[in-house]
């Protein structure tokens, strides 16, 4: 999964020899890099999160301009936490997100591996 977000890899997922050699001598990751890796789980299935938030917004209804700032921040924190947990579980088991998988199936005109 990390290969999709690592720019030195080719489209076939193969690393050039020099990059593979340098990765074997890699130093421990700094904290900022660890945070970035955790955020990748959110980005990996971003389209699914976008569709889910749109659907939830229509179900909740109302105008967000009528809500207090505290309510908006609490809802945003809850949604982000739920998305992060769902992403971590999903990405750990599957190659693509649910909506991304459907998108690939529709555009490739064949069923991609899940």
Could you read off the pLDDT of 94-107 as tens digits, one per residue? 888 889 999 999 99
Is 38 a residue whose pLDDT tops 60? Answer: yes
Look at residue 55 and tell me if it is in a domain. Answer: yes
Counting the structural domains of the chain, the total is: 1
Q: How far apart are CA 58 and CA 44, in angstroms?
A: 24
Let me know if residue 43 belongs to a domain.
Answer: yes
Structural domain contains residue 21 = no
What is the residue range of 83's domain? 31-108
pLDDT band at 24, cuts 50/70/90? low
Q: Residues 10, 13, 17, 20: is their CA dihedral positive or negative?
A: positive
Check if the beta carbon of residue 48 is closer than 8 Å to that of residue 98.
yes
- Which H or E run includes 62? none
Q: Is the pLDDT of residue 71 over 80?
A: yes
- H helices, E strands: number in the chain: 5, 0
């Amino acid at each position: 999964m990390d290969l999709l977000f690592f720019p030195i890899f080719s489209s076939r997922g193969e690393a050039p020899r020099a990059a593979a050699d340098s990765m074997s001598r890699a130093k421990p990751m700094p904290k900022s890099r660890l945070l970035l890796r955790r955020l990748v789980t959110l980005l990996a299935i971003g389209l699914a999160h976008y569709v889910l938030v749109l659907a939830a917004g229509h179900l909740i209804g109302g105008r967000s301009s009528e809500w207090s700032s505290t309510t908006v921040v609490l809802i945003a924190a809850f949604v982000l936490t739920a998305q992060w947990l769902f992403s971590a579980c999903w990405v750990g088991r599957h190659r693509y997100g649910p909506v991304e998988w459907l998108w690939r199936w529709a555009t490739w005109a064949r069923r991609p591996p899940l």
